[in-house]
Structures are given as C-alpha cells and as structure tokens.
Amino acid sequence: MNKHDISFVIPVYNTDLEILKTGFDRLSSFGRDSYEFLIVNDGSNEDVSKLCIDFCKDEKRAKYLPQSNAGVSVARNNGIANANGKWLFFLDPDDLLVTDFNTKITDEILKSKEDIIFLGFNRINEDEKIQQTFERKDIVDSTVGAFKITHIVRAILYGDQKKDGYYGYYFGTPWAKLINKQFILRNGLEYVPGIVKRQDAIFMIQTLMKQPSLKFVDEVVYNYRIDHENSISNRYNKKITATFEKISSILSESLPIELKKDLNHYVLLLSIELLFADFCNLNNQKSYQERQTDFLNYLDDSAVKQNVESAKLTNMPTKQKILGYLIKHRQFKLLNYLLYKRKQD
C-alpha cells in the first residue's frame, strides 16, 4: 500500500529565489494530504538552501534531501529512491503547477492502472503569462489511434516538431506526466548520471522502450516556463561533447533496427548543436588546432562515426543541410569560418 498518491520530485540547484518561493507557495496551496514533495537540493548556495530547508520545516508533506552537487540526473534518482507515492511527478523548480491542479487530478485518475499518464501543459513567459496551451490535440494528432511506442520514440528523436502525429519535444520530457513508481523500479530505470544535456529525452526513451501501458488525460496541469537566457547557441559547455558521445552510444545499443535511420538523423543534429556549444563557440578559448582536434576526435567516436556517416541530409532545412554536409565531410576549416571566424570579425 502506497503511503502517498503522488510524490513530486523537485531537483533544486541555485534557482532564482523569487521563482522558487512562488513554486513552493503553489505547492503549499494544495490541500491533499496524500501529496509528497521531495525537495532535492543539489548543492545550491546558502540562500537557496535556506529557502528549501524553511519550506520543508513549514510544510509537513515535504522532505528535504540535500546532496553534493552531482547534477539533475542524480538529484532525480535520489528523489525516486525516497518516494513513497504510487505516482512520480517530475517538477522542475522554475516551473509551476496550475492553481486548480487538485481538481484536475481526480481520484479516478489516481486509481488508473496505466504505467504512464500524459497530461497537458502551458508555455508561460517570465511574467507567468500563458503564451501557448498544449492539450491532447496539440500533442497527439486526432488521426492517431492507439499509442505506438516506436512512433513516439521516433518523434522524440526529431525534437521540437511533430513526427508520425506525435509532438516529440513533449514526449521527450518527464514533466506533465504521472509515472507509476513500481514500473520504474520493476524495470530498473533511472536517469543516466553524468549527462549534462538531453538526460530527460534519454530517460523517456529508455522508459518507453520498456513497453509501458499509456493513457492521455486531457487536463492541462503544468506551466512550463520558457527559458530565454540559456540557449545552447550562446553558452559554452565543454562537458556537452562527452555527453553527446555517451548518448550516441546508449541509443545505438538500445534502439531497434527500425529506428536506426532516425537515430542517424538525431546524432547528426546533436553534432550540429555541438558546433555552437563547443567547437565553434566564441567562449571556447582553445586554439584553432585544439578545437579542430576535438572536433575530429568526436567524429571518430565509434557510435558517433557510425551514425553521422549513415545520416541523410534530405528533409532538413538549408542551414542544417549545409552544416550537416560539412560535418559528414569533416570540413572543420569551413565550419570554423562560418560559425567562429566570421563572428569575430
């Protein structure tokens, strides 16, 4: 027997204090005693840590789980390990649940037998104004009948667009979903530690590949805050290259043959992203020769090489097609000129 209906897993790392307090206040406004709030403090600064501690002291349903800074994957795994609820609900600390969450998550939903329940969400701006609402019709085309796991995974690999009638970005995130904890434990699922980007998509792909039973409830319950400041194209992160190599290896080993072409495309897109995040990022202080060596070493990684060489350039926007072609032909000099040198001049 589960002690709680829902365990909300909330990893916190130096979140803006005002945003974090707003989120905590929203949680406290929900009257259900069967909710559990797991605040996993991933080595935040003193002010953020104090706010988390104070919230957990005042809110009897909250549990404070401090850890040394180890990343969001380890934080979420910590939350899963300490959860007492039937359902896991992953909530990012800068997002919000809707004010009427309680009434939308009915007893009927909580008693569902499915392994994953999909729910709707809003995109909100910095002022918490709704920019766009995503209900079932926006996430899954009306022409789609029964859920097909391979089609959903294929959509995740294509990212922020619809593929086979599924909106891939949503299905590649853990939020706005109820996930049965026993399904996670039974299949030994966890977030992969050490991955600094795309950890959500990898977790969802691995979860879906275990063939869970699925259900969509057409209730909008989550406010996803659009992040304008953390664009990958503007930030240098030297850890992303190793992360993308690891992702390529994980997916190459786990995806079925029918998704191999889609994986080829996905890895090529990751490689294009790496140009902006690492090899040709203006904040990368390495010399041209060092950056070129890093680029070629990345392409020589066995999983990356196999997927990039097999990737097709059809049905790609012109800019992606050009960058993809240059990557496939290892033309770092031209890539450096287009994305690095010209920005310096």
CATH 3.90.550.10 location in the chain: 4-225
Q: How far apart are CA 306 and CA 274, in angstroms?
A: 17
Residue that wins the pLDDT comparison between 159 and 86: 86
- The amino acid sitting at 199 is Q
- Please report the pLDDT score of residue 160 as a whole number: 80
Q: Which two tokens stand for residue 233?
A: 């194209």
* 188 three-class SS: coil
- Is pLDDT above 70 for 178? yes
- Please report the pLDDT score of residue 159 as a whole number: 83
Among the residues of the chain, which ranges form H helices? 17-28, 46-58, 72-82, 101-104, 107-110, 136-139, 149-158, 168-171, 181-186, 199-208, 240-254, 260-274, 288-300, 302-310, 318-328, 332-336, 342-344
In words, the CATH class of domain 4-225 is alpha beta
Q: What is the pLDDT of residues 87-118, one digit of tens each?
A: 999 999 999 999 999 999 999 999 999 999 99
- Please report the pLDDT score of residue 230 as a whole number: 40
Q: How far apart are CA 265 and CA 307, in angstroms?
A: 8
- Is pLDDT above 70 for 288? yes
- Please report the pLDDT score of residue 233 as a whole number: 39
- Please report the pLDDT score of residue 77 as a whole number: 98
Q: What is the pLDDT of residues 25-61, one digit of tens each?
A: 999 999 889 999 999 999 999 999 999 999 999 999 9
- Is pLDDT above 80 for 229? no
- Compute the half-sphere exposure of residue 88: CA atoms within 13 Å on the CB side of its CA: 25
* 57 three-class SS: helix
Per-chain mean pLDDT for the chain: 94
Q: How far apart are CA 220 and CA 3, in angstroms?
A: 26
Indicate the pLDDT class of residue 342, thresholds 50, 70 and 90: confident
CB 327 within 8 A of CB 268: yes
CB 169 within 8 A of CB 160: yes
Longest dimension (CA), the chain: 65
Q: Which two tokens stand for residue 74?
A: 């380890």
Nearest to 88 by CA among 34, 10, 191, 8: 8
- Is pLDDT above 80 for 227? no
Residue carrying structure tokens 């992360």: 243
